[in-house]
């Protein structure tokens, strides 16, 4: 039969997706399939699966409404083979199609499966590049090749120039600087709460609703985004964050339209430069950068473990049952909303795992499992590279290791905690303090030569031998007192 089978994966729900381009509505069929293999390769959070399946069904309905023939396979369809590979082959055979058009996958594990379609007997298969991303694999490789160290800031500057975002008429960065990060590190003022926000039921998500959330964010929250970007407040899960990552990663919103909307709000005088720039940097900079690193370095990247961290994941990552208020709070938000904001992911759960030397693969699996926006291409570099420094500094110039003093400065958590962030070795001392120094001492051979840690090691050197011993004993005592579960996962 003439016509092509056009595959749309669960995270490719964009009407402009490459696989749909040039569609012949008389002869082509679009395939979307809910399959067990994707739903179970890790035990995704229930909210993620509910959101994605609902979004897939709405997307299929939108295509049908445009007169496009859609083959939608539900998870419980009797003939469902349980995998994308199986469903593609079953559809090609059922409809007698000889052409297959797909968009490359986001995750590495599907690459080989999809490449094999190119050798299917009698099938003309095209795997198209996913051009929703703003840096192609070739762009990233060209930028990265020959560089000893990769730094997001330089990549981001190129992206700003290439897309002419927040640049002035002379081709220079708006207001004379590419980066206003120094204005985004303020501690939380007393009484800061999350502003009211529109939140659609994830089970009813469509692009139209995602656009309403985007507009609400740009108008009401973006003006303060920069100021409160790095703060953490007890009982406030969202603060001024956009909550757009799930929609963006599934394809309901596109990165460039979000950046342009933020830029337009700045140009209209509605949003200060530090907020617009800080927000755009996350999407045009960090998001593209981590995706570039992932595809540039996989599959070796997933096996890296610079510090040889092997300690099992503590039980409290699942239960939230710990006296450390910051960790209990981050896990509570994660369990309730399948969300926690960036600084909680990096400086609370990530920082603790780094300091305590938790097994890299176990931590990466936890992040992939608990968040609604989790896809390996974005989760892995953020966890393995940024939070755990397990790539030895490819992504970050020094480990994001911090003591309780940082958490006390950037949050009000410590006021709710039984521990004291000013103490290091006393009975009620904050565990992060001894763990911080213990981490630096334990990994001295690997880290002392890092120029950015020069003053940190100088401080350690100035401590008396007795103090150093007491700190290391405190850390050992703390770690020995915790239950470390071997890969326990939450009951769902
Ligand atoms: P906002 O704070 O409003 O930021 C706006 C947007 O910028 C986000 O929606 C996101 O698309 C993008 N962004 C911000 N920071 C990053 C970043 N570091 N990398 C890539 N994109 C970024 N993000 C995911 O989308 N999926 C993940 O699985 C994921 N895992 C992470 C694991 C760790 C250990 C860390 C430290 C970060 C992780 N991030 C992940 C990045 C970031 O934490 C989330 O994108 C963000 O918290 C999503 O919430 P938001 O939409 O409210 O973000
Ligand atoms: C995450 C996910 C889940 C849970 N289920 C499906 C599914 O049933 N069908 C599908 O096409 N995609 C699903 N996805 C998203 C895929 O895992 C994602 O498309 C691949 O990881 C490629 O990036
Ligand atoms: Fe976390 Fe330490 Fe503060 Fe308690 S005192 S909330 S453990 S940083």
Residue ranges and CATH numbers for the domains of the chain are 4-128 (3.40.50.620), 137-297 (1.25.40.80), 316-481 (1.10.579.10)
- The best mutation among 316, 405, 413 to test binding of ligand 3, ranked by most ligand atoms within 8 Å of the C-beta, falls on 413
DSSP string covering 275-293, please?
Answer: HHHHHHIIIIIIIHHHHHH
Q: Which atom of ligand 2 is nearest to the CA of 35?
A: 8
Residue 40, pLDDT score:
81
Inter-residue long-range contacts of 372-375, CB under 8 Å, 24+ positions, other chains counted: 372/45, 372/47, 372/48, 372/51, 372/202, 372/246, 372/337, 372/338, 372/339, 373/48, 373/245, 373/246, 373/248, 373/249, 373/339, 374/44, 374/45, 374/48, 375/11, 375/106, 375/107, 375/249
Tens-digit pLDDT profile for residues 427-455:
999 999 999 999 999 999 999 999 999 99
CA 216 / ligand 1 centre spacing (Å)? 19
Our measurement of the distance from residue 12's CA atom to the centroid of its chain's CA atoms, rounded to an integer in Å, reads: 17
Q: Which atom of ligand 1 is nearest to the CA of 291?
A: 20
Look at 40 and 454; give whichever has higher pLDDT.
Answer: 454
Residue 116, pLDDT score:
97
Tens-digit pLDDT profile for residues 147-164:
878 999 999 999 999 999
CB atoms within 10 A of CB 451: 8
CA 416 / ligand 3 centre spacing (Å)? 9
Q: Which atom of ligand 2 is nearest to the CA of 106?
A: 23
What is the number of residues in the chain?
Answer: 492
Judged by its nearest atom, the ligand closest to the C-alpha of residue 47 is 2
Is 245 close to ligand 1, i.e. is its CB under 6 Å away?
yes
Rounded Cα–Cα distance for residues 49 and 61 (Å): 18
Percentage of the chain beyond pLDDT 70 is 97
Confidence of residue 2 (pLDDT cuts 50, 70, 90): confident
Of the candidates 144, 240, 148, 152, the one whose C-alpha atom is nearest the C-alpha of residue 189 is 240
Confidence of residue 486 (pLDDT cuts 50, 70, 90): very low
CA 406 / ligand 3 centre spacing (Å)? 10
Residue 296, pLDDT score:
95
Rounded Cα–Cα distance for residues 326 and 318 (Å): 14
Judged by its nearest atom, the ligand closest to the C-alpha of residue 380 is 1
CB atoms within 10 A of CB 189: 11
Which residue carries 């929250």 as its tokens? 221
Ligand 3, pocket residues at CB < 6 Å = 324-326, 404, 407-408, 413-414, 417, 419, 421, 430-432
Judged by its nearest atom, the ligand closest to the C-alpha of residue 237 is 1
DSSP state of 213: H
Judged by its nearest atom, the ligand closest to the C-alpha of residue 230 is 1
**Helix/strand/coil percentages in the chain, nearest 5:** 55, 5, 40
* Helical spans, DSSP H, in 164-200: none
Supply 310's token pair. Answer: 């092997």
CA 38 / ligand 2 centre spacing (Å)? 5
Mean pLDDT, all residues of the chain: 94
Structure pTM?
0.96
Residue 492, pLDDT score:
40
DSSP state of 409: H
- The best mutation among 234, 347, 408 to test binding of ligand 3, ranked by most ligand atoms within 8 Å of the C-beta, falls on 408
Ligand 2, pocket residues at CB < 6 Å = 9-11, 33-35, 38-39, 44, 49, 52, 84, 105-107, 110, 375
Residue 191, pLDDT score:
84
Q: Mean pLDDT over residues 299-327, rounded?
A: 96
Q: Which atom of ligand 2 is nearest to the CA of 11?
A: 19
Tens-digit pLDDT profile for residues 219-266:
999 999 998 899 999 999 999 999 999 999 999 999 999 999 999 999
Is 338 close to ligand 1, i.e. is its CB under 6 Å away?
no
CA 104 / ligand 2 centre spacing (Å)? 13
Rounded Cα–Cα distance for residues 64 and 75 (Å): 19
Q: Give the three-class secondary structure for 104.
A: coil
């Amino acid at each position: 039969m003439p016509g092509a089978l056009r595959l749309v994966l669960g995270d490719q729900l964009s009407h402009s997706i490459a696989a749909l381009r040039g569609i012949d509505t008389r002869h082509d069929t679009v395939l979307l399939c809910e399959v067990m293999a994707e739903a179970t390769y890790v035990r995704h959070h229930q909210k993620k699966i509910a959101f994605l399946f609902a979004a897939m069904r709405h997307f299929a309905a939108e295509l049908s409404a445009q007169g496009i023939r859609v083959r939608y396979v539900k998870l419980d369809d009797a003939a469902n083979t349980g995998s994308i590979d199986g469903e593609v082959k079953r559809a090609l055979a059922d409809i007698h199609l000889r052409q297959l058009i797909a968009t490359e996958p986001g995750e590495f594990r599907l690459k080989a499966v999809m490449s094999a379609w190119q050798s299917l007997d009698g099938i003309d298969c095209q795997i198209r590049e996913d051009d929703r991303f703003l840096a192609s694999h070739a762009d990233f490789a060209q930028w990265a090749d020959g560089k000893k160290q990769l730094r997001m800031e330089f990549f981001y500057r190129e992206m700003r120039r290439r897309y002419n975002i927040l640049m002035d008429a002379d081709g220079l960065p708006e207001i004379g600087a590419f980066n206003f990060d120094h204005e985004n590190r303020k501690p939380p003022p007393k009484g800061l709460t999350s502003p009211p926000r529109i939140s659609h039921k994830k089970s009813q998500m469509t692009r139209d609703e995602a656009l309403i959330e985007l507009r609400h964010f740009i108008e009401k929250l973006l003006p303060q985004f920069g100021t409160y970007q790095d703060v953490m407040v007890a009982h406030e899960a969202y603060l001024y964050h956009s909550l757009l990552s799930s929609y963006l990663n599934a394809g309901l919103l596109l990165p460039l339209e979000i950046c342009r909307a933020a830029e337009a709000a700045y140009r209209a005088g509605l949003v200060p430069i530090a907020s617009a720039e800080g927000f755009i940097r996350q999407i045009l900079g960090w998001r593209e950068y981590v995706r570039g690193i992932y595809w540039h370095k996989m599959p070796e990247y997933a096996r890296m473990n610079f510090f040889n961290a092997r300690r099992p994941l503590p039980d409290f990552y699942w239960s939230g049952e710990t006296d450390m208020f910051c960790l209990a709070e981050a896990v509570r938000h994660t369990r309730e909303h399948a969300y926690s904001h960036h600084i909680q992911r990096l400086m609370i759960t990530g920082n603790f795992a780094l300091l305590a030397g938790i097994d890299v693969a176990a931590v990466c699996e936890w992040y992939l499992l608990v968040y609604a926006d989790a896809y390996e291409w974005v989760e892995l570099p953020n966890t393995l590279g940024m939070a755990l420094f397990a790539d030895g500094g490819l992504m970050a110039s020094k480990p994001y290791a911090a003591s309780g003093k940082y958490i006390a400065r950037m949050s009000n958590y410590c006021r709710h905690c039984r521990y004291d962030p000013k103490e290091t070795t006393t009975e009620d001392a904050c565990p992060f303090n001894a763990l911080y120094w213990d981490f630096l001492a334990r990994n001295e051979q690997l880290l002392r030569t890092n120029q950015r840690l020069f003053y940190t090691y100088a401080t350690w050197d100035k401590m008396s031998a007795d103090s150093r011993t007491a700190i290391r004993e405190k850390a050992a005592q703390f770690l020995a007192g915790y239950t470390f579960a071997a890969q326990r996962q939450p009951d769902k």
